[in-house]
Amino acid sequence: MTTTENTTDNPAEYDGEIGTAMADFSADYMTYIEGHLDEDLTKVPDRILSMLRTLEGYVQGFAVNQLEHSLQTATRAERAGADTEMIVTALCHDIGKILSNANHPAVGAEMIRPWVSEKAYWIVKYHQDFQGRHYYGRIGLDPEMRRKHVGHEFYEAAEEFVDVWDQEAFDPDYDTFPLEHFEPMVREIFSAPPRRG
């Protein structure tokens, strides 16, 4: 994103009183701002796709880059008969790695939260706890960290997500769908009005 993207979004366009603090903004100015924020929401699908493309540059020592891993996870979800939301969730589950591997599940979960169900949000937020079974023991962490979530309503869904799709998605020879295949699904999910709160 360039700094010139929002050049027409200049407060100088507004003819009324602006104020210097949000508490001072008039109802008319807030309506003006809300219009710009509504327009900004139309850019979310393109931003998500752009962030996913960025993951191509993240290899981190794996046999596949993080975009390929995400595509494989989503491909496996689709082939297993998952619905559109869960396929897109699989595609975006590691999007938080754009910032850092550290705490990426929570970062990614918050990024997609306004557009997905609580189930999808919860799975992304805690998928690393479930993923630990497959490698934590080799790095000195508790491989059964998922046990702290036993009894949660989305526990079994998270197990399927991680054990069947996510942890299997590091195969350089897997017949993976390209990002273009998932683009209509991404646009469907992230074009919906976001939930607030």
Q: Which tens digits make up the pLDDT trace of 112-144?
A: 999 999 999 999 999 999 998 998 999 998 899
Q: Which of 78-82, 88-92, 139-143, 178-182 has the lowest mean pLDDT?
A: 139-143
Q: Which tens digits make up the pLDDT trace of 3-34?
A: 334 444 555 577 888 888 888 888 888 888 88
Predicted local distance difference test score (pLDDT) of residue 3: 37
Residue 150: partners with Cβ closer than 8 Å, 6 or more residues away: none
Q: Scanning the structure block, which residue is given the tokens 């273009």? A: 180
Contact (CB, 8 A) for 112 and 87: no
Q: Scanning the structure block, which residue is given the tokens 């701002």? A: 33
Q: Which long-range contacts (CB under 8 A, 24 or more apart) does 174-177 make?
A: 174/72, 174/75, 175/75, 176/68, 176/71, 176/72, 176/75, 177/71, 177/74, 177/75, 177/78
Eight-state DSSP code of residue 197: -
Contact (CB, 8 A) for 196 and 66: no
pTM of the model: 0.87
Handedness of CA 46, 51, 56, 62 (dihedral sign): negative
Q: What is the Cα–Cα distance from 16 to 163, expressed in whole angstroms?
A: 57
Q: Which tens digits make up the pLDDT trace of 57-72?
A: 999 889 999 999 999 9
Domains in the chain, CATH or no CATH each = 44-190 (1.10.3210.10)
CA 98 → CA 77, 88, 112, 144, 177, distances in Å?
Answer: 22, 17, 14, 27, 21
